[in-house]
Structure 1
Amino acid sequence: MITSFEELAERRLMTLNYHKKDSQQYINSLNYFEYARIYFEKNGFPDDNRRVYQSGKRKGQKVGWSDKEEKQQKDDIRNFIYGKQLQKFKSKRKSK
């Protein structure tokens, strides 16, 4: 779950280091993270209101995000990107 621009930058760096430079996956990753940045600028980040462990080894640490929450955030970003690309495609068709 991405909750700040710092986390977004970390994930972007890890992803770009993983893919071979100038490959299609590298270019797709650049585009994805640019759209993700725009998405977070427009919609903001989710509040980090996870509960904290009260006892045990992990006392004081926050509980991790659920898979459902992470999946929902990814789906929201994908839908945002799809909508942006659809707008771009429609505007190109109108100009012809």
Structure 2
Amino acid sequence: MTRKTWTAGYNAETGEIVAASSGCGYCAEGNVINALGGDVNRVVLTRALYWDREEEIWDEMPICDKCQVFLTPDDVEPGPWYYHPGPWDNG
């Protein structure tokens, strides 16, 4: 089951802040990066969240293996969860 996720980020050079959801073929992380100009090297992301309908709580969505290809753990606020196995396991 694919879950709609939300995250936010800021452009470290301009200070611009954006929040975005997953959709249109991108994870929430990719949509934030695109909204902030498309340069992942200038963007710092928050951890992604999704609404768990069964528990009725917000929960963290791990960084998927596709996003691990173009993101590093330093691109996300400290201690992000991520899917294993994935590219971050090799770093």
TM-score (norm 1): 0.22
Bigger proportion of residues as strand: 2
Bigger proportion of residues as helix: 1
Which has the higher Rg, Structure 1 or Structure 2? 1
TM-score (norm 2): 0.23
